[in-house]
């Protein structure tokens, strides 16, 4: 060395064969009789007279370095088409994608003509632009539908595959084991040789390698083909295509000894401008959708709208009511159907199309023209026809409350009017409804079922007109008497209305035809498009910087010195000579698109972190934080993307040069990511925390994978043990992939309806198209998909294609319906009144055994979606805690509101009722919510849950057990909600700005308290009941002679909430 000290080295060096003897003839340019020089083994490249370096380039599982030649010999050292040091460069007119373990060189003659190659590049851009639009559309839909999580699941899956795919960059079975294992192996080989056994050089080299199954690489690479972004849509890869175009048209071939940087500059410039080219195609798609497709579509919508309005006016509806109720969205939803105008006779579709008020006018006109006027005369009404319209509106669900429907359902004997009306309904239905299976079923029931069963014949309407109108008068009178004087009327006026969200009338994505609006509305798609290719372009920039260091004798100076070569072309040293410009451009692209893009996104979100839930910001940037807790808005950009970026830097650069060291860093990064997620739990709790569970399981599998690989390397385990561990690793990762794909398929292809009638199942083509994302009539009004539905049906009628497309629906449909059925058996929570706590209702299972397959499927669904009773109770407790935390930290209260528990269980119920009454595109305002709270409190008050609670409290004083509350049919449980509905209320609160959140909570709590305390027969009666119980309790204590008894009050204090 430099100090003159000497040391011993292995002879021969790894990868070198010292054959000994003399050359019999002229070989490798050496004369006959010359001492035979050391030569390289297969898979090694001679870097000096007596040293060799392993080669990484492989062509069809064959190493590009053939071996068998000494240092300085150029002939037959590399496979055909390969040249340069370590055979890491391509010959002229040959191309190779990526460095490291990527495939070998391919001749450009094998590619199509240049015109086709350019077409393929544009097709790749178009496909990825369409993918970005689809991803953006699904994301925008999930912003308005809190139950839709497929876009969020897709984000989790993209992150997971991006990280897991890096393991496919290394051929694990070619990694040498650690030094202590090598020393042990060499000692064993020496012992065998000493014993007279023959050990070949190939056997020696093979024993020093990691004994990992060679099939693992191909399976892993196939499993993670997606790798965070869509794969290239091309004959070869885009890099190979661009290099061949540069060779053909820009003279970028070079020679065997000298590289031409033009061959690499052309693809690099493409990747620098690739995001801008993608944005161009995204904008072109947006222009086509807005300027071409939508006008054509709206022409049909306007024609259909005019025909529908004409039909409605002809059948008694008022034009001004039609204009207010008949929206373009409704026409868009049904205009694609065959015999659209004939289906207007179907009251179910008509009710969904124009709403209850217009349908009530049509039904009232039908009843009026068939004699209802005579039936209503004895009632002495000033405007009998309008009274009939108002009654039908209430019955159809469009009135101020549902009390009329509830009374008709109950028909209690003590309420003669209700009994009369319900009896009239049942009698008329039994006579006129030919579809009814028996007379004993509740012919009235749910108003929608009435209409669905066809009970709209004139005779039925005439017969029920007078009893229903009379009952409505009674209900209205009782309601007026029960309404508190003054009450919360002033309160409703004082609460500001929610800001009206701008209507995106063009397919739910664009506001108008103006170019300025189109550009602004394209911003979400632009951001998602860049984000969707972030993995691809980041790896491309890093590959242009990817280097490898090794020592080699310089052919010019004959000095043995270190070389830092570029792995894409090992004839170039990084940031030296022709690579300087390549390295600078790659670094610029990495900084701008891979780092600065994320930094700007984060800074924008951070600047507006208090307004992220406002309509405009949520529409523009919601893709990046939808599904995350409000305090973790940065998680997707700052934590998860930085995690991927660091992993990519470790993989594709020389910051960590050794493969074994890279694997150690992967393990450390995996542990850090797992710990960070476990501590933060950044995702919200929809579907009982399924998003957090998916991410947690993925991170656990990631850590488990790298940890097992390290353990096997450290221990140099036997091959059979490594095979078992490899299968275990694949099983764990396959389980994560299945969970992610399962979740996405269940959201996209699952049947969300609970209708299992034969009509809902008939027609294979209909079944397929109805479940395609966006084509489901019940869950989407996306006109783009709806207008393609008829075409899709014709295409899907192809037998083979139909069979392929039908598979996910055959599997997911029944499972999704079973999931909905199980969701109908979870514990329910029913608010009993102001300060009276909550009833927990448990489902009582029906008698009878189920088939084994159904039992297993039910267990699987309960486990995957956390639908067991224990999990749901824990979920409810978690939501309660999260809501408390959110209210106390964001609503601006200076003290704990006294009715916080009442709010947590009453508000989600009110919200669900309000959203059902005012479905999209109507926007909920605070007065709407408070008005619905008014109705809800009156109904709960009338139901008497607090009386039952008081009686139960009295009974349980002498008993140590409390009878559990059960329910059998969820439809028969009034005013009860599930933990998932509670979480929906929490997600709604997350979207409110702090000022509106404070006003909503204060107003809601005041509404609950004032109505409960001022309602006639309200808390006064309860206090009297409690006083009587106090006397009873004290008498029991005196009789039992209990010293110092503990009295648990049953009547709560009525306190005005703090902060109001």
- pLDDT of residue 867 exceeding 70, the answer is yes
Mean pLDDT of 868-881: 90
pTM above 0.85, yes or no: no
- pLDDT of residue 29 exceeding 60, the answer is yes
Percent of the chain with pLDDT over 90: 15
Question: Residue 328's pLDDT is what?
Answer: 66
Q: Beta strand pairing status for 838-843 and 965-967? A: parallel
Alpha carbon distance 413, 8 (integer Å): 106
- For residue 351 the two structure tokens come to 């009710």
Instruction: List, for residues 1044-1053, the tens digit of each pLDDT value.
Output: 444 433 333 3
Mean pLDDT of 765-787: 41
Distance of CA 870 to the CA centre of its chain: 25
Alpha carbon distance 187, 497 (integer Å): 83
Q: Beta strand pairing status for 52-54 and 838-843? A: unpaired
Mean pLDDT of 952-964: 40
Mean pLDDT of 206-229: 66
Question: Residue 778's pLDDT is what?
Answer: 41
Instruction: List, for residues 309-328, the tens digit of each pLDDT value.
Output: 888 888 888 888 888 777 76
Winning range, highest mean pLDDT, from 217-226, 395-404, 434-443, 910-919: 910-919
- pLDDT of residue 671 exceeding 90, the answer is yes
DSSP letters for 711-774: HHHHHT--HHHHHHHHHHHHHHHHHHHHHHHHHHHHHHTS-------HHHH--HHHHHHHHSTT
Question: Residue 686's pLDDT is what?
Answer: 85
Instruction: List, for residues 562-576, the tens digit of each pLDDT value.
Output: 888 888 888 888 998
Alpha carbon distance 794, 774 (integer Å): 17
Mean pLDDT of 617-638: 90
Mean pLDDT of 896-921: 81
Alpha carbon distance 625, 143 (integer Å): 10
- pLDDT of residue 1042 exceeding 70, the answer is no
Listed residue (23, 885, 1000, 867) closest to 498, CA to CA:
1000
Question: For residues 237 and 949, which has the higher predicted lDDT (pLDDT)?
Answer: 237
**Exposure pattern of 1006-1022 as b/e (b: 16+ CB <10 Å)?**
bbbbbbbebbeebbeeb
Q: Which helix (H) or strand (E) holds 967?
A: strand 965-967
Question: Residue 1000's pLDDT is what?
Answer: 85
Which residues in 44-136 belong to E strands, given as ranges?
44-46, 52-54, 58-59, 62-63, 82-83, 89-90, 94-95, 106-107
Question: Residue 527's pLDDT is what?
Answer: 95
CA-based angle 1050:1052:1058, to the nearest 5? 160
Helix axes 926-943, 403-410, angle to 10 degrees: 30
Alpha carbon distance 951, 959 (integer Å): 13
Q: What is the mean pLDDT of the chain?
A: 75
- pLDDT of residue 192 exceeding 90, the answer is no
- pLDDT of residue 648 exceeding 80, the answer is yes
Question: Residue 476's pLDDT is what?
Answer: 74
Alpha carbon distance 540, 149 (integer Å): 31
- pLDDT of residue 434 exceeding 80, the answer is no
Helix axes 659-680, 641-652, angle to 10 degrees: 170
In three-state form (DSSP H/G/I as H, E/B as E, the rest C), the secondary structure along 89-113 is EECCCEECCCCCCCECCEEHHHCCC
> Which of the residue ranges 48-52, 221-225, 525-529, 535-539 would you say has the lowest mean pLDDT?
221-225
Mean pLDDT of 213-232: 66
Mean pLDDT of 514-528: 92
Q: Which helix (H) or strand (E) holds 71?
A: none
State the distance between the two ends of the chain, measured CA to CA, in whole angstroms: 82
Question: Residue 420's pLDDT is what?
Answer: 52
528: confidence class by pLDDT, cuts 50, 70, 90: very high
- pLDDT of residue 34 exceeding 60, the answer is yes
Q: Beta strand pairing status for 569-573 and 560-566? A: antiparallel
Q: Which is it for the CA torsion 124, 640, 634, 982, positive or negative?
A: positive
Alpha carbon distance 212, 201 (integer Å): 20
Question: Residue 767's pLDDT is what?
Answer: 38
Question: Residue 702's pLDDT is what?
Answer: 92
> Which of the residue ranges 339-353, 561-575, 945-959 would you say has the lowest mean pLDDT?
945-959
Winning range, highest mean pLDDT, from 71-85, 182-196, 340-354, 790-804: 71-85
Question: For residues 778 and 732, which has the higher predicted lDDT (pLDDT)?
Answer: 732
Mean pLDDT of 595-619: 89
> Which of the residue ranges 468-472, 639-643, 708-712, 748-752 would you say has the lowest mean pLDDT?
748-752
In three-state form (DSSP H/G/I as H, E/B as E, the rest C), the secondary structure along 888-930 is HHHCCCCCCCCCHHHHHHHHHHHHHHHHHHCCCCCCCCHHHHH
- pLDDT of residue 954 exceeding 50, the answer is no
602: confidence class by pLDDT, cuts 50, 70, 90: very high
Alpha carbon distance 686, 1052 (integer Å): 32
Q: How many helices (DSSP H) and strands (DSSP E) are in the chain? A: 41, 17
718: confidence class by pLDDT, cuts 50, 70, 90: confident
> Which of the residue ranges 67-71, 178-182, 242-246, 895-899 would you say has the lowest mean pLDDT?
178-182
Question: Residue 1047's pLDDT is what?
Answer: 40
Instruction: List, for residues 362-420, the tens digit of each pLDDT value.
Output: 888 888 888 888 888 888 788 888 888 888 887 776 544 445 555 454 443 334 444 55
- pLDDT of residue 70 exceeding 70, the answer is yes
Question: Residue 174's pLDDT is what?
Answer: 67
List the beta bridge partners of residue 22.
35
Contact 418, 400 (CB under 8 A): no
- pLDDT of residue 768 exceeding 50, the answer is no
- For residue 958 the two structure tokens come to 């002498």
Question: For residues 456 and 151, which has the higher predicted lDDT (pLDDT)?
Answer: 151
Query: Length of the chain in residues, anyone?
Result: 1060
> Which of the residue ranges 138-142, 239-243, 346-350 would you say has the lowest mean pLDDT?
346-350
- For residue 963 the two structure tokens come to 């009878």
Question: For residues 745 and 986, which has the higher predicted lDDT (pLDDT)?
Answer: 986
Mean pLDDT of 760-771: 38
């Amino acid at each position: 060395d430099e100090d003159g000290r000497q040391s011993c080295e292995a002879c021969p060096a790894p990868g070198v064969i010292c054959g000994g003897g003399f050359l019999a003839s002229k070989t490798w340019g050496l004369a006959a009789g010359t001492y035979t020089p050391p030569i390289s083994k297969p898979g090694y490249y001679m870097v000096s007279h007596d040293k060799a370096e392993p080669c990484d380039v492989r062509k069809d599982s064959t190493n590009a370095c053939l071996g068998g030649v000494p240092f300085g010999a150029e002939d037959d050292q590399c496979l055909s088409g390969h040249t340069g040091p370590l055979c890491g460069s391509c010959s002229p007119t040959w191309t190779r994608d990526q460095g490291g373990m990527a495939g070998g060189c391919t001749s450009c003659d094998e590619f199509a003509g240049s015109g086709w190659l350019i077409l393929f590049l544009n097709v790749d851009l178009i496909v990825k632009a369409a993918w970005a639009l689809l991803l953006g559309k699904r994301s925008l839909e999930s912003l308005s539908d809190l139950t839709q999580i497929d876009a969020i699941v897709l984000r989790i899956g993209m992150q997971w595959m991006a990280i897991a795919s890096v393991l496919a960059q290394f051929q694990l079975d070619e990694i040498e084991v650690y030094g202590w294992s090598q020393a042990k192996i060499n000692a064993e080989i020496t012992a065998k040789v000493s014993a007279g056994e023959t050990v070949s050089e190939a056997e020696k080299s093979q024993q020093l390698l990691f004994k990992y199954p060679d099939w693992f690489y191909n399976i892993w690479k196939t499993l993670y083909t997606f790798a965070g972004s869509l794969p290239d849509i091309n004959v070869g890869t885009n890099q190979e295509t661009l290099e061949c175009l540069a060779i053909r048209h820009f003279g970028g071939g070079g020679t065997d000894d000298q590289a031409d940087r033009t061959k690499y500059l052309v693809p690099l410039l493409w990747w620098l401008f690739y995001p801008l080219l993608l944005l161009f195609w995204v904008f072109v798609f947006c222009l086509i959708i807005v300027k071409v497709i939508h006008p054509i579509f709206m022409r049909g919508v306007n024609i259909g709208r005019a025909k529908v309005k004409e039909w409605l006016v002809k059948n008694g509806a008022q034009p001004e009511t039609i204009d207010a109720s008949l929206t373009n969205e409704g026409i868009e939803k049904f205009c694609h159907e065959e015999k659209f105008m004939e289906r207007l006779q179907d009251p179910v579709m008509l009710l969904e199309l124009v709403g209850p008020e217009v349908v009530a006018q049509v039904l009232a006109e039908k009843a009026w023209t068939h004699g209802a006027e005579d039936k209503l005369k004895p009632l002495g009404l000033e405007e009998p026809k309008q009274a009939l319209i108002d009654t039908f509106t209430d019955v159809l669900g469009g009135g101020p409350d549902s009390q009329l429907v509830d009374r008709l359902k109950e028909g209690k004997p003590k309420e003669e009017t209700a009994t009369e009306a319900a009896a009239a309904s049942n009698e008329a239905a039994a006579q006129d409804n030919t579809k009814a299976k028996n007379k004993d079923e509740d012919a009235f029931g749910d108003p929608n079922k009435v209409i669905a069963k066809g009970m709209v014949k004139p005779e039925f309407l005439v017969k029920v007109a007078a009893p229903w109108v009379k009952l409505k008068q009674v209900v209205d009178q009782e309601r007026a008497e029960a309404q508190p004087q003054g009450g919360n009327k002033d309160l409703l006026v004082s609460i500001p209305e929610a800001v009206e969200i701008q209507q995106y009338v063009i397919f739910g994505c664009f506001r108008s035809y103006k170019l300025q609006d189109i550009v602004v509305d394209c911003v979400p798609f632009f951001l998602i498009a860049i984000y969707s290719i972030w993995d691809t372009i980041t790896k491309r920039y890093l590959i242009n910087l990817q280097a490898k260091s090794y020592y080699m004798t310089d052919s010019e100076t004959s000095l043995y010195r270190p070389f830092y070569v570029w792995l894409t072309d090992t004839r170039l040293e990084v940031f030296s000579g022709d690579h300087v410009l390549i390295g600078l451009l790659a670094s610029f692209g990495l900084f701008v698109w891979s780092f600065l893009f994320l930094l700007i996104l984060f800074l924008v979100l951070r600047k507006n972190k208090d307004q992220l839930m406002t309509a405009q910001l949520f529409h523009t940037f919601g893709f990046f934080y939808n599904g995350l807790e409000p305090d973790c808005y940065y998680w997707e950009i700052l934590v998860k993307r930085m995690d991927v970026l660091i992993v990519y830097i470790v993989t594709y650069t020389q910051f960590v040069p050794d493969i074994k060291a890279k694997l150690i860093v992967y393990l450390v990064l995996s542990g850090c990511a797992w710990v960070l997620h476990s501590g933060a739990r950044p995702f919200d709790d929809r579907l009982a925390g399924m998003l957090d569970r998916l991410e947690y399981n993925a991170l656990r599998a990631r850590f488990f994978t790298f940890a097992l690989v390290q353990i096997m390397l450290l221990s140099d385990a036997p091959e059979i043990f490594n095979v078992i561990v490899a299968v275990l690793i694949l099983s764990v990762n396959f389980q994560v992939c299945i969970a992610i794909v399962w979740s996405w398929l269940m959201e996209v292809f699952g049947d969300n309806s609970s209708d299992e009638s034969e009509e809902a199942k008939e027609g294979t083509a209909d079944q397929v198209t109805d479940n395609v994302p966006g084509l489901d009539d019940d869950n989407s009004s996306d006109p783009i998909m709806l207008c393609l539905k008829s075409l899709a049906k014709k295409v899907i009628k192809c037998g083979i294609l139909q069979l392929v497309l039908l598979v996910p629906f055959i599997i997911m449909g029944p499972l999704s319906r079973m999931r909905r059925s199980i969701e109908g058996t979870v514990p329910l929570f029913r608010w009993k009144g102001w300060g009276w706590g909550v009833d927990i209702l448990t489902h009582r299972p029906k008698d009878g055994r189920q088939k084994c397959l159904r039992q297993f499927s039910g267990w699987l669904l309960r486990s995957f979606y956390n639908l067991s009773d224990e999990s749901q109770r824990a979920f409810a407790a978690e939501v309660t805690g999260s809501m408390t935390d959110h209210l106390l930290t964001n609503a601006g209260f200076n003290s704990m509101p006294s009715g916080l528990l009442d709010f947590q269980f009453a508000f989600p119920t009110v919200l669900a009722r309000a959203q059902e009454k005012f479905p999209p595109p109507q926007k909920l305002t605070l007065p709407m919510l408070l008005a619905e709270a008014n109705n809800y409190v009156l109904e709960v008050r009338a139901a008497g849950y607090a009386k039952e609670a008081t009686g139960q409290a009295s009974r349980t004083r002498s008993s140590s057990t409390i009878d559990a509350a059960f329910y059998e049919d969820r439809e028969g449980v009034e005013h009860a909600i599930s933990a998932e509905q509670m979480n929906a209320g929490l997600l709604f609160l997350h979207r409110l700005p702090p000022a509106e959140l404070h006003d909503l909570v204060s107003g809601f709590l005041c509404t609950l308290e004032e109505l409960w305390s001022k309602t006639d027969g309200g808390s006064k009666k309860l206090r009297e009941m409690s006083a009587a119980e106090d006397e009873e309790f004290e008498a029991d204590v005196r009789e039992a002679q209990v010293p110092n008894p503990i009295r648990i009050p049953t009547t709560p204090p009525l306190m005005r909430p703090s902060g109001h």
